[in-house]
Structure 1
Amino acid sequence: MSNLITLEEAFQKLKLGKTVFIDTCFVFGRPELGYEGYLQEHIPSAVYFHLDKDLSGPILTHGGRHPIPSKEEFARKLGEAGIDNDTHVIVYDNEAGNVAARCWWLLKYFGHKHVQMLNRPLSHWKEAGYPITNEIPSPDVKKYIAIPNELLTVSMENVRTHLHDKGRVLIDARKKKVYTGEENTKYPKIGHIPGALNYFWEVVLSKEGVFQEGEQQLKTFQAIPKEKEIIVYCGAGVTACPNILALTEAGYENVKLYVGSWGDWTSYENNLTECGESSL
């Protein structure tokens, strides 16, 4: 099963009534706008997962802005959404793979095997004439058993220890000027983790905003050998996830998320950074 699903395929699943849709629409900088938009319109029967409240754990001194939630808390929320380990789940957002990919990754991390992401944003669903509603669903509560897969993530210590490992590739999913250090952010340091390559997460989308299929993703990441271990990070562990999904679709099998990402890396005063561009 592909990790992506088209509008028509998703609509057919909706008609069958056996799939749970998760709306993850979110506006960075205005975190309540996504939920407000969901209250106004969403795919029928879709439940809403908030990036900060549902797809992240508590913020601590280290660990970045979007730590992984506890398995107990996430399992509870999935169960309340009518999701058990056998439920087919389709996630979507308003950017075809920003926050939705984070939700997809979390479900994978916690052992779910039947999750796909809509390959287009909600706006495309509407433009195509598929149904929209403002009715809030009341799903039957189910039990989800969360089994974390630690092979899908790496810690800061792991990244630091293997910083110059020839068998590993670091990918920075932030926009280029942030990666090179030309543009400052709210983090205490500029630049990127030494040796990281830059693939801004939007490269996985077409000009029309469609998440591209595996063949095109393979062209995007063709410079990266498939036998390498790939570690992807961004600013806060969210926009790295579209790259992870894209790499997975392209056939890369050893792809991991540095969940804490740049926010975690720069919270340690002695961690090295560099500006400019890196290469393999």
Structure 2
Amino acid sequence: MLISHDDLLKKIDTADLLLVDCRSYKDYLEGHIPGAINFDFFYYHWSDTSKDGIEAFEKQTQNLLSFLGVTNEKTVVFYDDVSGMSAARGVWTLMYFSHKNVFMLDGGFKKWKSLGLVMETTTNGFKPTKFSGKINKEILAGYEYVNKKIGTAKLLDARSKDEYDGITIRAARRGHIPTAVNIDWALNVNDDGTMKSNNDLDKMYNFSKDDEIITYCQGGYRAANSFLALKILGFKNVKVYIGSWGEWGNKLELPVTLEKN
């Protein structure tokens, strides 16, 4: 799920590559990897994970991926400033549609720039397609599923400690989902922007490979980065709760806690 800068350079001029810059349009205009189109997944929130809401998410996401020019034959590479949350959300999204060749650029644009690699400032247009893929229900969780799994699945809160503890409030209620443990997604990333080594990640995510793990944050972006970290480590049963605290914290009937786990 990660691609190095060297490996991307080998594919940069190939027809089957779709390269997506997930940073802001302002940053994109100031310089980007040659051939990249720009789409910041961070502005594509989804906070309704009812049955109807997830069906709507699937239809709208399929339309979005078609607009980006995704096909099943394309190798799709997403990149951020670092090995970040918007690019990770892009990778998770294509995995949800069972796409076989999707990657996040390890180290992102920060490392690309530090290596002195070629950049461009011209805007690259979209080449829309008609994308369809097989839905992989095994990597998405809605609020009803999460509520039923409290106490049996491992809930991983990828937000900051202040959000988890309820000091920072970003919904109608503060705190976290009962039994959730807090591992800030930012701990996944080295100072140079690359993902930490498997050995370092393994020390943080001290779970059994047999555990079912559900990641969440505020809007499902940081949670996607933690999802990738867990998948890189070989965890099989991992889901992202895409509604995350933006949905859970505003649903007054759902349980919350301020107790540390």
Aligned with 1:235 (options 218, 229, 235): 218
Structure 2 residue aligned with 1:159: 146
Q: 1:148-170 CA deviation, whole Å, 9 max, x = no partner?
A: 211111111111122122xx100
* Between structures 1 and 2, the one with greater helix share: 2
| Structure 2 stretches lacking a partner, 5+ long | none
Corresponding residue SS for 1:157: helix
Q: Does 1:274 align with 2:251?
A: no
Contact 1:24 1:51 in 2 (8 A): yes
1:208 CA displacement: 2.6
**Residues 221-232 of structure 1 correspond to what in structure 2 (within 5 A)?**
221=205, 223-232=206-215
- Give, in whole Å, the separation in 2 of the partners of 1:76 and 1:202: 31
Structure 1 residue aligned with 2:178: 194
1:12 CA displacement: 1.4
Structure 2 residue aligned with 1:180: 165
Gap change, CA 1:68 and 1:88, over 3 Å in 2: farther
Q: TM-score, normalised by structure 2?
A: 0.90
Q: Does 1:146 align with 2:133?
A: yes
- Give, in whole Å, the separation in 1 of the partners of 2:107 and 2:130: 30
Equivalenced residues, count: 259
Corresponding residue SS for 2:88: helix
Gap change, CA 1:238 and 1:257, over 3 Å in 2: same
1:266 CA displacement: 1.5
TM-align CA RMSD: 2.2
Q: TM-score, normalised by structure 1?
A: 0.85
- Give, in whole Å, the separation in 2 of the partners of 1:56 and 1:163: 24
Aligned with 1:264 (options 232, 235, 247): 247
Structure 1 residue aligned with 2:22: 24
Q: 1:123-181 CA deviation, whole Å, 9 max, x = no partner?
A: 2211211111122224544332133211111111111122122xx10000001122122
Structure 1 residue aligned with 2:80: 93
- Give, in whole Å, the separation in 2 of the partners of 1:173 and 1:199: 5
Contact 1:172 1:200 in 2 (8 A): yes
Q: Which moved more, 1:73-82 or 1:229-238?
A: 73-82
Gap change, CA 1:208 and 1:236, over 3 Å in 2: same
**Residues 239-254 of structure 1 correspond to what in structure 2 (within 5 A)?**
239-254=222-237
